[in-house]
Amino acid sequence: MSNQLIIEKGQQYVMNTYGRFPIAPVKGQGCYVWDADGKEYLDFLGGIAVCVLGHCDPRLQKVIQEQAARLWHISNLYWIEPQVELAEKLVKLSGLGKAFFCNSGAEANEAAIKLARKYFYRQQQTEKYQIISFKDSFHGRTLSTVAATGQEKYHEGFAPLPEGFLHARFNDIDSVKSLLNEHTAAIMVEPIQGEGGIHPAAPEFLKELRLICSQNDLLLIFDEVQCGMGRSGEVFAYQTYDVLPDIVTLAKGLGGGFPIGAMVASDRAASGFAPGDHASTFGGNPLATAVANQTVDIISRPAFLEQVQRMSHALQRELESINDQRIVSVRGRGLMLGVEFNQQVNELIKICMEKGLLLIGAGANVVRWVPPLIITDQELRQAMAIFTQALKEWK
C-alpha cells in the first residue's frame, strides 16, 4: 500500500485517538526508517524513547527468532526461565530486591500504585493510601495513572478519577511538605520529566524526597519509563543522582521495541504483594523477557553507557551552539534533551519531517531529542544539518 492508501484506510478503520503525521513508516534499520513510498528518514525520536538499539538490531532479531521457535507464552502459573533471568539482572543492576513484569509503562505505574497501597494495608496502616505526584508529570493512560499525572488536559472528561492523588510542584520541596499528611503513602516522581517538557529533577530535590520518605515511612517511587534503560547515561537515571527509590517502574526501552514493562521494588516494599494480589496474563512472557534480557545486557555494558554520555555531550554542544533568538533553553540528561522555544514547535517538527528528520515535541514549546542510544557522529551531523536548515525556514 502507498502512504496515501494506508492513511485513508487508517482514518476509516482505526479509532481516532492520535494526532498523526501523514506518513506510514514500513521499514527500519538502525537509526533510519522508510515510509511506504520509499522516502528515507533519520529517526531521532526512536518510537518515543523506545528503540534504544535503533530498528531491527540483528542481536535482538536473533533472540526473537530463537525464542519464537522455542516458547512464546505459557502463563505465570509456571516459572518462566527468561523472566527469572531478567528479574535477576534488573535486581542486581538496580540495587533493589524483586521484579514484577507487565506490558507497558502505565501498567508498571498502576502496579506501583497498587503495591504502595497494599504494602500499608498489610501493615494495618489502612489510612495510608495517598500518592503525591507532580505537576507536569506523565504516568500513563489508565484511570489511576491519569489521576497520578499532573496535567489537567489528560483528566478532562474522565471524572470521577480514582481518589487519593495530590500534585506538588516539581523541584519545590516546600510544596511537597505542604501536602504531607497522615494519609500519605508514597511519592511518585519522574527523575527527568519527559512528556511535561524534559525537566530534570534538581539533585538536592531527589535527595530531599528520599529523606522525607525515609523519615515518614513513605515509599519513594521513581517512574523511569522514559528516562530509564541507559537513556540518562546510566542504566537507571537515579544512578546519576545517587538516590535509591523503593520502587522503580520501567517500560519503553526495556524491550528495545518489544512491548514489556516492569516494576522493581526493594524486598521490603515488595513484601506488600502476596499471591493473588496482582497479575498480568502476558506479563513477563518468554518472548518479551528473552528480548529484554538481550537489550539489558547490551545497554548495561560500561562501554555502551560511556558512548551514550559522549553522544549526549556532543548533541548538547551542537544544540547549545545554535544561534536562534527563539531558543529559551537547552536542558536534559544523557540522550534525553529538550530545546525550549518561545513559541509552539509543531510546525518546526513538521518541516524537519518533510526534510527527512523525525523528532517529537514535549509540551507545546519544547523539541524533544530522545534518539536511539546508538546514534553515530555522522547521524548527529546529519540531524543537526536538517534541524538548522528547518529553523531557517520556520516562521
Cα 287 from Cα 82, distance rounded (Å):
8
Q: Which three cell numbers stand for residue 212?
A: 522525607
Q: Which three cell numbers stand for residue 167?
A: 500534585
Q: Which three cell numbers stand for residue 122?
A: 498489610
The least CB distance from residue 200 to ligand PLP, in Å, is: 13
* Contact set for ligand PLP, span 190-219 (CB under 6 A): 190, 194-195
Q: Interface with ligand PLP includes 225 (CB under 6 A)?
A: yes
Q: Interface with ligand PLP includes 151 (CB under 6 A)?
A: no
Q: Find the binder of ligand PLP among 31, 96, 106, 291 (CB under 6 A).
A: 106
* Contact set for ligand PLP, span 18-37 (CB under 6 A): none
Q: Interface with ligand PLP includes 138 (CB under 6 A)?
A: yes
Residue 43 or residue 195: which is nearer to ligand PLP going by CB?
195
Q: Is the peptide bond before 259 cis (omega within 30 degrees of 0)?
A: no
Cα 34 from Cα 379, distance rounded (Å):
16
Three-state DSSP at 52 gives: coil
Q: Interface with ligand PLP includes 110 (CB under 6 A)?
A: no
Q: Find the binder of ligand PLP among 251, 298, 337, 351 (CB under 6 A).
A: 251
Q: Interface with ligand PLP includes 228 (CB under 6 A)?
A: no
**Count of residues engaged in binding ligand PLP, rule: CB under 6 A:** 14
Q: Interface with ligand PLP includes 104 (CB under 6 A)?
A: yes
Q: Distance from first CA to last CA of the chain, Å, rounded?
A: 34
Residue 95 near residue 128 (C-beta atoms within 8 A): no
Query: Closest Cα partner for 138 from 53, 237, 249, 47?
Result: 249
Burial class, 285, CB count within 10 angstroms (exposed 0-12 / middle 13-18 / buried 19+) = buried
Of the candidate spans 68-76, 102-110, 180-188, 320-328, the one that interacts with ligand PLP by CB under 6 A turns out to be 102-110
The least CB distance from residue 102 to ligand PLP, in Å, is: 9
Q: Find the binder of ligand PLP among 140, 150, 164, 284 (CB under 6 A).
A: 140
Other beta carbons within 10 angstroms of residue 34's beta carbon come to 16
Query: Which residue has the closest beta carbon to ligand PLP?
Result: 105
Of the candidate spans 172-180, 220-228, 288-296, 305-313, the one that interacts with ligand PLP by CB under 6 A turns out to be 220-228
